[in-house]
Structure 1
Amino acid sequence: MTHTYNISGMTCTGCLAKVQGLLQQVPNVEKIDISLAEGTADITMKKHVSTADLQQALAAYPKYQLSEAEVHHHSMNVVDDTENRTWVQTYKPILLIFGYLLAASFIAGYTAAFNVMTMMRIFMSGFFLVFSFFKLLDIAGFADSYSMYDVVAKRWRGWGYVYVFVELGLGLAFALNIAPFIINVIMVVVMTISLIGVMQSVFNKRKIRCACLGAVFNLPMSTVTIIEDGLMIVMGIVMLGLM
């Protein structure tokens, strides 16, 4: 069963992520779809959850006020906008980014006589610079989204802000080829920690937004995110082995 509620006080994607994270913690809440423009939330429940319980979840943030709207009984064949899209349509932003990065890395490797180390270094530099760019567009929104699943950000929300600049620093370090051994070690550690939270969310089948591109795109958390993080870890380990 899915119920629709009005939620006031949300002004940005950061607010959306915060409200979604708070309501996701309520027992028997299975999925939450929030429309920032309409100020509504469709909440799918395993068992009925009272409005009072949902309001209590937001009690620590008085600016967010939840009230009942209308109830929709969705049949099993009704899915949200994300599920209606094809895999390519859903992950088009990431596919385009990876395509451009691969092209740039191959060009760099070609000019260096097909140097594999150069190709991987340029790819990782572009990866971290581009992904940190999208996070910086709405750093508060990213921090709220990241705190919903990252093992460190769950305990300290400030890690979401720090993480953005860690990515930016890694991107610049790879581009300038600064202390490659140390930088690769740091990258592998940081990405491994991030991967743990991603895997927990995917394996627990939590339907939440992936924060890899910040709060700009509505990308679902999935095995694609695992592959994305895992690829960077593997490339870092390979580069360490070739040094």
Structure 2
Amino acid sequence: MASSIQQSARVYRMKTAEHMCPFGLKTVDLLKRKGFTVDDHTLTSRDEVDTFKEKERVDSTPQVYIGDSRIGGYEELRKHLGMSVPNANETTYRPVLAIFAVALLIGLSINWAVQGSLLTARTPEFVFSTAMVLLGLQKIQDVESFSNMFLNYDLLAQRYVPYSYFYPYAETLAGLLMLAGALIWLAAPLALFVGTVGAASVFKAVYIDKRELKCACVGGNSNVPLGFVSLTENLVMIAMGLWMLLRILPG
């Protein structure tokens, strides 16, 4: 890895009235944070950009030069500095873990506002019902993309396609009703039903059929692998359905 101490770098990046290149800004920021003195050249028109590309025989901007060497764009700079390169196609659990983490914080906040304490008997209800709402919201943003991915593994949706459109709204509705403590006679069976079908579908696809699929748990076009986390989402709905039913049963 090249040392960045007391080195200077030249950056050529697009900055027009119509477009501020985000990778150009990231490139300049990264160089400065690594101790480089940056000679920042902004290309302020399409003609300037095209002229630069033709002259340097490159296909894109930004372009970084350290000394007499052309390093390349933002990703090439990260590699040059020994840093990892973000990969939008890499499988990751981060989206769903982020949702559960935020749901925990929201649940604790609601509990504090309603009960005057962070931890009470209702804390799990607030946390998990919030998680259901957030997960449902991710799916509702693009129901068509969700349904396309969901149909790869859900057993009921494969037999009755409209269920793939029903599922996101059912999950969201059940979570909202549980969060409000209203119409539990509807919310609990709904959560139990979609959770049980979902858990069975994920278990069969992953642990019996050994299929490597992407999970639709955070909406369509996600890179979350179908497996333990997606199974957990459905088990949470089952647990919430059973718990809420026990709360409303007499005696």
Q: Which TM-score bucket, shorter chain as reference?
A: 0.5 to 0.7
How much has 1:97 moved relative to structure 2?
A: 0.9
Tell me which residue corresponds to 1:155.
159
TM-score, reference length from structure 2 = 0.57
Q: Is the 8 A contact 1:151 1:197 kept in 2?
A: yes
Is the aligned partner of 1:192 residue 2:192? no
CA distance in 1, matches of 2:88, 2:197: 27
Structure 1 match to 2:103? 101
List alignment gaps of at least 5 residues for structure 2: 1-86
1:215 aligns with 2:226: no
Cα distance, 1:197 vs structure 2: 0.6
Distance 2:166 2:211 in 1: 25
Assess if the C-alpha contact under 8 Å between 1:151 and 1:193 holds in 2.
Answer: yes
Structure 2 counterpart SS, 1:154: helix
AA at the equivalent of 2:97: L
Q: SS of the residue aligned with 2:156?
A: coil
Inter-partner Cα distance in structure 1 for 2:221 and 2:135: 11
Paired amino acid for 2:230? T
| Match among 171, 184, 187 for residue 183 of structure 1 | 187
User: 1:83 offset after TM fit, Å?
Assistant: 10
**1:131: how far off?**
1.6
Provide the rounded CA distance (Å) in 2 between the counterparts of 1:129 and 1:138.
15
Secondary structure at the counterpart of residue 153 of structure 1:
helix
Task: Work out which structure has the larger RCO, using CA pairs closer than 8 Å and 6 or more positions apart in sequence.
Answer: 1
> Alpha carbons of 1:115 and 1:242: their partners in 2 closer, same or farther (altered >3 Å)?
farther
Query: Which whole-Å CA distance do the structure 1 matches of 2:233 and 2:143 have between them?
Result: 21
Q: Which residue of 2 aligns with 1:92?
A: 94
Q: Letter of the aligned partner of 1:235 in structure 2?
A: M
Amino acid at match of 1:199: F
Do 2:194 and 2:234's aligned partners in 1 also have CA atoms closer than 8 Å?
no
Identity of aligned residues (%): 25
Whether contact under 8 Å (1:136, 1:214) holds in the other structure is: yes
Aligned AA (2:108): F
User: 1:26-52: CA deviations, max 9, x gaps?
Assistant: xxxxxxxxxxxxxxxxxxxxxxxxxxx
Structure 1 unaligned spans of 5+:
1-80
| Structure with the greater alpha carbon radius of gyration | 2
The two structures, once aligned, show a CA RMSD in angstroms of: 2.3
Aligned pair 1:121/2:125, yes or no? yes
TM-score by length of 1: 0.58
Deviation at 1:153, TM superposition (A): 0.4
Residue deviations 1:162-189, cap 9 Å, x none? Answer: 1122123223322332122431122112
Is the partner of 2:212 in helix, strand or coil?
A: coil
Which residue is 2:237 aligned to? Answer: 232
